[in-house]
Each structure stands twice: as C-alpha cells, then as structure tokens.
Structure 1
Amino acid sequence: MSLAESEQINAGRDQRGTGGVLLSVGLLVTVCVMPVFLVGGLGVQLRAELGLTEALLGAAASIFFAAGAVSARPFAAVTERVGPTIAMRSAALGSALCLFGLAAVPNAGWLLGVIALAGVTNSLCQPASNELLMRRVKPDRRGFAFAVKQAAIPAATLSAGLAVPAIALTIGWRWVFAIAGLLALLSAVCVPRLRWTRPKARVRNSGGSTGVLLTLLSIAAGFGAAAANAMGAFVTLTAVEVGYEEGNAGLMLALGSAAGLASRLGAGALADRRKPNLLRMVTTMVIVGSIGFLLLAFGQPVLFLVGLVLGFGFGWAWQGVFNFAVAARFPDRVATATAVTQTGVFIGGALGPIIFGVLASTQGVPAAWLSAFGMMALTAVALLLAGRR
C-alpha cells in the first residue's frame, strides 16, 4: 500500500486530529527513553543504595544505546509486518515492564540487565513512531510532527530532573520508576489506530545508490549523536571548570535544553512552511552547531555560554528534520529506512560519551570538546555527500 492510499484509508479510522496524534506519540517516545535518563538523574540515590558507581552509571547509558543498535533493524522488520500501532503498543508495554523492573531491582547488576531490555524496547518504538507519523499526519504538518517527537528527549531529561526533588527525595527513588511505569501503560492505551498493509517495496542498506545513501546518512547520524550525547553528559562539568558555580552550572544545562527544545520545534515548523531541501537544512544546522562545540573548547565563560546555546540549539536539534528527511526519501518503507539511520544514532550514543570521557580524563576537557567538534565536522561531510545522491 502506498503512502497516499494509506492516508486516505486511515483518514476516518481514528478521529483524533494531528494534535492528539502528536501528544500520544510524544508521550510514548518519552516513556521509552525515560529509563536511561531516570537512571542518570537518580544517580546519587542509586549509588547510595545499590552501589552504582560513576563507571557503572556511564555503562548503563552505553548498554541502553548498544542494545538499541543491535535490535533496531530486526524490529523495523517486525513493525512492517504487524504495523506501527501494534509495534508502538508493544513498545509501551515493554517500557512499562522495564520501568516497574527498575523500581524493584535489588542491585546494580540487575539494573544493567533491565536497562539493556529498555534499550531494546526503545529501538522498537523509534521506527514504529516514525512510520505512524508519516501515515497519520498531513504532509504540511510532518516537519513539525517529527520535531515534536524528537522534543520528547529533552522532555524526558526535564522529567528526570524534576523527579529528584519532587519524588525521590520525598517518598523514595523506586516510586519514580513506578510512576513512570504507569505513564507507560497510559501511553499504550493512547496509541492511535492505523489500518495496515505490509509494504511490498524493499529498502536495502548495501549495494546501489540507495544503499550508499543510507550508509552515508547512518554515518552522519552516528557521528552527530556521539557529539550531541557527549555534550548532554559533560556540559555541567565543563561549566564548573570554566568558572561557573555548581548551582549555575545546572542552570546552564536548563538553558541549553530550552534552546534545544525551541530550536527543534522551530526547525520543524520552518520545514513545513518553507519546504526547503531537508538534507541541506540539516547540514546547515550541523555546521552552526559545530561552531558551538568549538567555542566550548576555549574554556572562557562568555564563549562557553555562546557555545552552549549554539551547541544545544543547532548541534543537538537537527534530529527531527533529519528523521523527516529520511522518511520523506523512503515514504513507503519509513520504518526500515529510519531503523538503518537509527542504528547509527544508537552506536554514536553508546560510544560518544565514552570517547569524550576518556579524552577528558587523559588529555583534558578542551581536547575532548575539540574531538566533539571533529565529530560534528564529519557529520557535515557525510551529509554533504548524501545530499549529492
């Protein structure tokens, strides 16, 4: 079934408008990435009770993304067989089980095991939600729709931050995971219905111009995610090193997150309004964002602030338009195509913070930021090459 035929058939099947669809998808993506961000946000409490060291905390994030990298492609095939509605509901239920499991873990070993399962669940959620957005959202709203989906990531980090004083320090950290599990169950109920016919066309990631294009896009996504995830993990540490107080360093992270959230939504709306060359738009955002990473390496408070806004506002905000570009290029096999690029994202997300941390501890934080700048430069090169295909 073509994308146009699917739109016509599903127009009357689920009476929810675009806003309802975006709300349900945003909630689902949030709860699917929430396990790894809640573990990070509750690191102090988990260290005190479970003995979760800083090294194990970093390992948890890497395991989450590595598990997603392994399972993204197989789950894309599952999505195309059963349809995005069943896949998304399965992802929501899986995330709920993982969150309830995290609420009951007896030690750090069990926590790492559950985090791995959560990464697998997230890898089912991502391509399935991309497929649903392309089928259920009108063409002139898809850019904003993908932006809202990607905005769920800073929403998850914000939720993790708020959960510490509101819940963890009052009734206990286990209740944070339990409440998040209930939200995951709610998201399963809210998934929009979609009549589904398995597509016949095939998308290959090896051989031919299509394979080269997807390979370049996956490489770009991997390097970009490596740099962006490193920024999210180490920006507060850098803020303290350049002279900001610890309390203000937290505000710097909040400022960067706000810039990233606003930029994601703004870029999506601009893509709908101006109908630009999407890959060229992503490349521009990456280049501007790379300047921000470079400024972070100078160790000056003012340059740090400017680099923070550019890094979060452009260097970590291009994923929504990027996913939209991939989906628009392969409209009849959205799940498979975005799973290929999502594999790159997961690999970069797993390796980026590790590489940054090793360089920061051995060569210094400025050298680590220069490496992140280099990753963003490689992202831009891969995107430029992909844009010529």
Structure 2
Amino acid sequence: MSATAADASPPEAPVGLTGLLAETLAVQCLGTTAILIVPALAPLIAPDLGVPTSMVGYQISLLYVAGMFASVIAGALVTRFGPCRISQTAMGLHATSCALASIPSLWSMLAATLVGGFAYGLINPSASDLLMRHSPPARRNLIFSFKQTGVPLGGVVAGLAGPQIALPFGWPAALLAVAGGCLVVAALSQIGRARLDSHRLRGQMRLFSLGALRLVVATPALRWIAASSFFFSSMQLCAITFLVVLLVEDLGFSLVEAGALLAAVQVGGAVGRVLWGQVADMVGDGLAVLFGIALVMAAASATIMFATPAWPPEITASLFIVLGLSAVGWNGVYLSEVARQAPAGLVSAVTGASMFFTFTGVVFGPVIFSEMHNATGTYVGSYGFLTALALAGALMVAINRWTRGA
C-alpha cells in the first residue's frame, strides 16, 4: 500500500531523541492550543457571534469531521512529503485557521474550524512515524506519552494565556497570538528536516485509500483498541470543551478562575501522560494501565454529577484535576499500544486509521453532550453521559486484552 511504504524502508542513522521530542512536542502543543482557544474563550466569543455558548460543542464536532478526513489521507501524505514536512504544513494551516477565527463572523469561524480540523488530523500520524523510527522499544510508552503531553500543555496555554490576552486586548488578539506561535514552530522545524524526511518517496501516490481502515476493522485486536479511543476521546473532549462554561454557569466561577482551573486540569493530564507511560513501561502491560485509567475516569465523572456552587472550591478543583489525570492522560499509552500492535511497516497508516475512530468519538460526543445540556439545563447533570463513555472504553480495552490473549 503506497500510503505506508515509507514505514518499511531501512532504518536511518540515529537521530537525536531530545531534539525530535522537542519538535513533536511543540507541534502537538501549538496544534492543541489552536483548536482549544475558541472553547476557552467561548463566553467572550459567543455573544459577538450571536450564538449561545453551548454551540461550542457543534464547533468542536465539525472541527473533528475535518480531522477524520485528514487522518485517512495522512499516511499517504507522510509517505510522499515526509513526516517533518507534514508537521510544518499542519502548523501553517493552524496559523491560517486562527487568523480566520479572529474575524468576528460565523462564516469565517466555519472556515477556520474546517481548516483547523484538517491540520489537527495530520499531527499524530506524522509524529508516530518519527517516534516509531527513532525511539528505543523499552522506552516507547514513555516517549509517546511525553510527546502527548503537548495536548494538555496546549490546553494550559489556551486556558491561561487566552483570557489574559483576550480581556485587555480583545479575543481576536489571543487568536492572532496563537497563529504567530504556529508560524514560529513551523519555521524552527525546518532545522534537520532534510534528514528526518530522507525516507520519503518522491514518486506517485494514491492519496485516498481505505486499506488501512479495512485492516483495522478486520483485525480484532486493532478493532477493539481503536473502538476504545472512540469513547475515550469523546470523554476527553466533552470534559475539556465544556469545562469553562460549566464552571462559570453552573458552579459560579469567574472566567479567569475557570481558565486557571482548565490550565490545572491540563497540567494534571500532562503529569498523567508521563506517569501512565512510565507505569506501562515498568509493568510491561499498557492495556492493563489503560483499563485502570478508564476506571478513574468513570469514578471522577460520576462524582462531578453531584457538584454544586456550595462545594468548597478546593474540593471542586481537586476533583477536576483527578479527571484531568485520567481523561486527559490516556493518549500516550493508547498510541504506543496502537504502534505496538500494528503490523510491521504499517505504523503511520494504522495510526491514521485508528485516529479516524478517535476523531469520530470527538465528533459525536460534544454534540450529544450539548443536547443533554439542553435537556437537563445543567452541564454537571450531563456528566452521567461521560461516566458511561468511560465504562464503555474500559470494556473495549478488556475485550482487546482478551482477544490478544494478554
């Protein structure tokens, strides 16, 4: 399959792992900031666009529809142009998306959402190609998890820097600042690009192929691990996307306080990703660790259903940080498991195909959560849905483990 031929090429000369991790981490961080800055500033942006804050769920879902398409063709793009070049392309597209979103228009926001979603769908397949080629197997869970800390770190930037820029200078200024950061990372990624992309194939390519998706669906172990990401990603994006409006509208937090707690939750997720990756490498059983993470998600979200403004802020904050530790901390172990279970030479294609399922969960989860909010009238009351998502994900991991005889 042309989309994956590069994965089967002979191994290149060793590449400095520190620099490679710095690059992939920066791309992941800025890409995540670019897609979370709008939800983080939803209480400011929504009135200017004349829409309710709950509409952010539909915006996020549409963004990941574009990401689903990108994930299907990402393997072919990585093969043809190289993983580093595709990472740079993602940064350029994210900068364009943020610039479009800074224009106070629903049509401009629609275009920004589609461009940003496509850009985000390119990040993980290209990073997995790089890290699988150049990381030692004994440390792979930790390395993938460290790179994935870019997701919560991007949330920290959105939650902390976003309001701090938006309140004095206006929310468009915050979006333009993120666009500038993406362009800086794209430019710096040019250093060493020729070496990192030396395995790319310069011939013709078949851009759109369903071969990797068919492989994931037809292989029981890959099918169930991909299915788990449907539930986990839906859980994660609902928890993060609606956190600020939940805290402001349901629990009486100020926008700055809510942004600070969003940042703390994302820090908890970053700590969790490194912690879970280290634990998975130590015990040599990523699936067992992933199952345990799902149970923590379920317990935390079930408890949040009963939160009220009368709760001490410290208790509320601690509970959401535990949620971040799990619901934002699962991805590194998951991606490492996908890479480990993928057939030899098919890592980038299988990663892209598995991300199709991941993005599908993100598409449907926030929409369903928005509808549940409309029905119940509160965000905390909708957390029963998140509890069910976490338990369903745990079931998928258990079936994967049983299927593989682990």
TM-score range relative to shorter protein: 0.7 to 0.9
1:41-86 deviation line (CA, Å, top 9, x unaligned): 2334433544354254332211111111132112222223332122
Cα 1:385–1:131 change in 2 (3 A) is: same
Query: Does residue 196 of structure 1 match 2:199?
Result: yes
Out of 185, 204, 224, the residue aligned to residue 216 of structure 1 is 224
Give the match for residue 314 of structure 1: 326
Give the direction of change, closer, same or farther, for the CA distance of 1:203–1:140 in structure 2 (3 Å limit): farther
- Residue of structure 2 in register with 1:142 after alignment: 140
Matched, 1:131 2:129: yes
Q: Which residue of 1 aligns with 2:386?
A: 372
TM-score normalised by length of structure 2: 0.83
- Superposition map of 1:144-223 within 5 A: 144-191=142-189, 192-193=192-193, 194=196, 195-196=198-199, 204-206=212-214, 211-223=219-231
Q: 1:240 offset after TM fit, Å?
A: 6.5
- Does residue 90 (structure 1) correspond to residue 93 (structure 2)? The answer is no
Paired residues of 1:203 and 1:337 also in contact (CA < 8 A): no
Q: Please, which of 263, 271, 275 is the counterpart of residue 272 of structure 2?
A: 263
Distance 1:160 1:281 in 2: 29
Whether 1:294 aligns to 2:293 is no
Scaled by the length of structure 1, the TM-score of the pair is 0.86
2:360 corresponds to 1:344: no
Contact 1:294 1:307 in 2 (8 A): no
CA distance in 1 between partners of 2:18 and 2:187 (Å): 16
Is 287-296 or 298-307 further displaced after alignment? 298-307
Change (3 A) 1:344 1:208: closer
Q: Deviations over 1:219-265 (max 9, x none)?
A: 11011111122122334555568866547655543443232221111
Question: Is the Cα–Cα contact under 8 Å of residues 71 and 122 in structure 2 kept in the other structure?
Answer: yes
Alpha-carbon distance in structure 2 between the residues aligned to 1:145 and 1:130: 10
2:390 corresponds to 1:382: no
Shift of 1:183: 1.8
How far 1:309 sits from its partner (Å)? Answer: 3.6
Structure 2 stretches of 5 or more lacking a match? 202-209
Partner of 2:372: 359
- Judge which range, 366-375 or 224-233, deviates more: 366-375
**SS, match of residue 149 in structure 2:** helix
Post-superposition CA distance 1:90-110 (Å, at most 9, x none)? 22222222233334x351211
CA distance in 1, matches of 2:227, 2:216: 17
Shift of residue 317 of structure 1? Answer: 0.8
Residue identity in the other structure for 1:148 = F
CA distance in 2, matches of 1:221, 1:270: 20
Change (3 A) 1:344 1:304: farther
Letter in 1 for 2:85: I
Matching residue of 1:22: 21
Identity within the alignment, %: 21
> 1: CA distance between counterparts of 2:84 and 2:273?
25
Q: 1:208 to 1:314 in 2, by over 3 A?
A: closer
**Does the 8 Å contact 2:9/2:199 carry over to 1?**
no
Contact 2:232–2:389 (CA<8 Å) still a contact in 1? Answer: yes
Q: Distance in 1 between matches of 2:299 and 2:284?
A: 22
1:42 aligns with 2:50: no
1:326 shift after superposition: 0.6
Deviations 1:288-315 (A, max 9, x none): 2212122222336487556434322123
For residues 171-202 of structure 1, the C-alpha deviation after alignment (integer angstroms, 9 at most, x for no partner) is 3433323332222122223335312156xxx9
Q: Determine the structure 2 residue equivalent to 1:324.
A: 336
Q: 1:76 to 1:298 in 2, by over 3 A?
A: same
SS class of match (2:219): helix
- Answer yes or no: is the 8 Å Cα contact 2:31–2:120 preserved in 1: yes
Check conservation: 1:63, 1:116, Cα contact below 8 A: yes
Aligned letter for 1:137? S
Secondary structure in 2 aligned to 1:196? coil
- Is contact 1:52-1:108 (8 Å) kept? no
